[in-house]
Structure 1
């Protein structure tokens, strides 16, 4: 059997690279019968067969993997969760957030199970195994679009917020070049993001991911503190024009907590909560680099990361909502005074957090590009660096010159996020796990089919909300 190499310099044993001279049974049975940890080329040691995945053995510790995946989950959408709670009520919000955390963990389970059958931990290779090259192209394209959208939204926040922070810390400097957001994102991209993006492996970013998470913990502590020193601005009600039906609360007071709230914005907030746990493009790269990898160990990384982010999301939403109640805006930081020194530091911490997330998001895009354009080539620094530079150049151009970048990538996110969370993991699982192991009518396959169906429902809902937003001119909140 002639072996080809993947972009990381290791053997690609996907079905389209197995020689044509073997029978279909010979060519595919080996793939379908491989279980977690098995390899296509067993290594003999002391007369025993050692099994392993076909890609390289990872060196990233369990803790660093948790930092990286948590950082991938944690996005700018945390700023919109208090607004989401204001438009769903506390009980409905907690139910939705809990449901999405569980569904996200289940989605990762499907990905890991499929990767265990294929023997290669790459999202694109799962697409290749399920549908051939079109599936590989589809998976790589969706990952690229989703993550470019995420990178753009993070840098867009830097472009808008960093000048305000500099003006707050250094007053009377509004005419200088260093308060122009366009120059600032270029400087940040060159001095901070690019060096981190040039790391050979994603695991090396565990330290910066840990620091990024600590910045968001500072944000969380500040939100909790502000709850006890801030009075609800009842006279400046932000949502007074929004008709509200509170099922369990008889009063419509803007400074009273609602347990369950139904208003025209409620439907718009559901996708915000649904997409709060998008991290799936990063799951398999992190799995690839995990030390002593196994499906159980990686699932534990995912579960701890999701649980940690669930707690952060819930506490931020509750205390943000209980500070401003029905007055809360779509981005929580807008509610705090820009002259408040503490909140200026919090804004800076949030900017540091989203900036340090950009390199983590860039890694899956580069891997997708390598899988599409250079699937047979070993690792090479020139390609590694060139792709990172080109991606950052493209994203900077978009953020600088496209004024409605959030609308553009909002539509992309409405299609790519449900695909990455629900549709592709479920379809890959259904197609890859052999019927001899799990028949189509078995409970796991039926659950996967229902999961895919739910994904299509979320996609249709999200696209509908985006179109309504464009037509009516009303803005939804949040992001990832």
Structure 2
């Protein structure tokens, strides 16, 4: 069940844009990038679990608090909220090619809650859950992208299902399956957003069903309002995604690891901490690249990726 939940957290309807991404990168580069991102995501989860294990914390925002105090907690909560709201909106809109490719395995805010729910929670078991989930999504992503691309080649659109007839019974079943998958993703994605809001607004309040449900309803209502009434919401949250996703995957896990794991256990110049520092640097590079591509597209109105 944990594997299903984490896989569900990883997968969104962004999977429908992977064939378009492959059309813009080519098959070989796409496969290389997908493998690279899968491996980096697994390593990121390793850092997150090791850091959480050192201090016994099972919440992303609390790691921020442990590393930097209240500002760290607020920063982590805000990034989680923005990223997941952006991710939920992305389920209803066309996504940018670069974020689709670079951040296909974002599930980090959900890792620690799922870790807590394991019958016998330990780092090795949760890492195995993460590895299996990432592998399963890797295979699904790759098959979807390859068959979608080989069906339409350079004519593939950013939303794959738009290429098929709306009267085809089989494709109607596929659309229904995607709808069910996205619907099942909502509770998993909503959980860290609601927790982040609670951490920001009601940090010392005990659990209450009215507050719990009210926050969920308000968040869903807000997302739907934004989708309906803000026509350029894709651009706004494409930019937010380009900053929040690398923060959640690369920057924060690496920084948490460096700051929280005591020097007595791992000195600052030790190999694991140097690797974490390189990982953080890579995150900033991803962020700068993504923001640059998006801004170029805004200014020129042209896609920055080359077609094949």
TM-score after normalising by structure 2: 0.93
Mark the CA change 1:263 to 1:332 in structure 2 (over 3 Å): closer, same or farther.
closer
1:376 aligned counterpart, secondary structure:
coil
**Cα gap change, 1:397 to 1:475, in 2 (>3 Å):** farther
Provide the residue aligned with 1:310 in structure 2: 138
Shift of 1:477: 9.9
Deviations 1:346-405 (A, max 9, x none): 122212221221121111011111222222222221221121121112112112211121
**Alpha-carbon distance in 2 for matches of 1:264, 1:472:** 25
Change (3 A) 1:102 1:389: same
Q: Does 1:444 align with 2:269?
A: no
Q: Which residue of 2 aligns with 1:195?
A: none
Are the aligned partners of 1:72 and 1:360 in contact in 2 as well (CA < 8 Å)? yes
Give the conservation status (yes or no) of the 8 Å contact 1:83–1:330. yes
Using a 3 Å threshold, how does the CA distance of structure 1 residues 285 and 302 change in structure 2: closer, same or farther? same
**1:133-188: CA deviation from partner (whole Å, max 9, x where unpaired):** 00000000000000111xxxxxxxxxxxxxxxxxxxxxxxxxxxxxxxxxxxxxxx
Partner of 1:426: 254
Q: Tell me, in whole angstroms, the C-alpha distance in 2 between the residues paired with 1:285 and 1:332.
A: 32
Once the two structures are superposed, residues 15-74 of structure 1 have per-residue CA deviations (whole angstroms, 9 ceiling, x without a partner) of xxxxxxxxxxxxxxxxxxxxxxxxxxxxxxxxxxxxxxxxxxxxxxxxx11111100100
Superposed CA deviations along residues 180-227 of structure 1, whole A, max 9, x for unmatched, are: xxxxxxxxxxxxxxxxxxxxxxxxxxxxxxxxxxxxxxxxxxxxxxxx
Work out the number of aligned pairs and report it. 305
Q: Give 1 or 2: higher helix fraction.
A: 2
Whether the aligned pair in 2 keeps the contact of 1:69 and 1:283 (CA below 8 Å) is yes
Call closer, same or farther: CA 1:266–1:141 in 2, change over 3 Å. closer
Deviation of 1:268 after TM superposition, in Å, equals: 7.2
Give the match for residue 384 of structure 1: 212
Instruction: Pick closer, same or farther for the CA change 1:267–1:145 going to 2, 3 Å.
Output: closer
Query: Which of residues 251, 272, 276 is equivalent to 2:100?
Result: 272
Over 3 Å counting, the alpha-carbon distance change for 1:358 and 1:440 in structure 2 is same
C-alpha distance in structure 2 between counterparts of 1:270 and 1:137, whole Å:
27
Shift of residue 270 of structure 1?
4.4
Q: 1:267 to 1:379 in 2, by over 3 A?
A: closer
Task: Rate the CA distance shift 1:390–1:276 in 2: closer, same or farther, 3 A.
Answer: same
User: In the TM superposition, what is the alpha-carbon distance from 1:103 to its structure 2 partner?
Assistant: 0.2
CA-to-aligned-CA distance 1:229-260 (integer Å, 9 cap, x gap): xxxxxxxxxxxxxxxxxxxxxxxxxxxxxxxx
Q: Which runs of 5+ in 2 are unaligned?
A: none
Secondary structure (helix, strand or coil) at the match of 2:95 reads: helix
The CA RMSD over aligned residues, in Å, is 3.9
Do the aligned residues in 2 keep the contact of 1:80 with 1:331 (CA within 8 Å)? yes
Name the CA shift for 1:409/1:148 in 2 (closer, same or farther; >3 Å). same
1:26-41 matches, cutoff 5 A: none
Q: Distance in 2 between matches of 1:70 and 1:478?
A: 30
Q: Is the 8 A contact 1:331 1:477 kept in 2?
A: no
Tell whether 2:66 aligns with 1:129.
Answer: yes
Q: Secondary structure at the match of 1:428?
A: helix
Following superposition, the deviation at residue 269 of structure 1 comes to: 4.0
Q: What's the CA shift for 1:294?
A: 0.6
Q: CA deviation at 1:476?
A: 7.7
In structure 1, how many angstroms separate the alpha carbons of the residues matched to 2:223 and 2:198?
18
**Residues 8 and 185, structure 2, Cα contact 8 Å, conserved in 1:** yes
Q: Distance in 2 between matches of 1:477 and 1:345?
A: 32
How much does 1:423 deviate? 0.4
Residue ranges of structure 1 left out of the alignment (5+ in a row):
1-63, 150-261
Q: Does 1:345 align with 2:173?
A: yes
CA 1:358/1:328 → structure 2, altered by over 3 Å: closer, same or farther?
A: same
8 Å CA contact 1:430–1:440 kept in 2: the answer is yes
Q: Does structure 2 conserve the Cα–Cα contact (< 8 Å) formed by 1:70 and 1:309?
A: yes
Tell me whether 1:299 sits opposite 2:236 in the alignment.
no
Q: Is the 8 A contact 1:77 1:478 kept in 2?
A: no
Tell me, yes or no, if the aligned pair for 1:122 and 1:284 is still in contact at 8 Å.
yes
- The offset of 1:461, in angstroms, is 0.7
Whether the 8 Å CA contact 1:426–1:449 is kept in 2: the answer is yes
In structure 1, how many angstroms separate the alpha carbons of the residues matched to 2:214 and 2:298? 37
Tell me the TM-score normalized by structure 1: 0.60
1:434/1:70 CA distance change after superposition, 3 Å: same
Equivalent of 2:30 in 85, 93, 118? 93
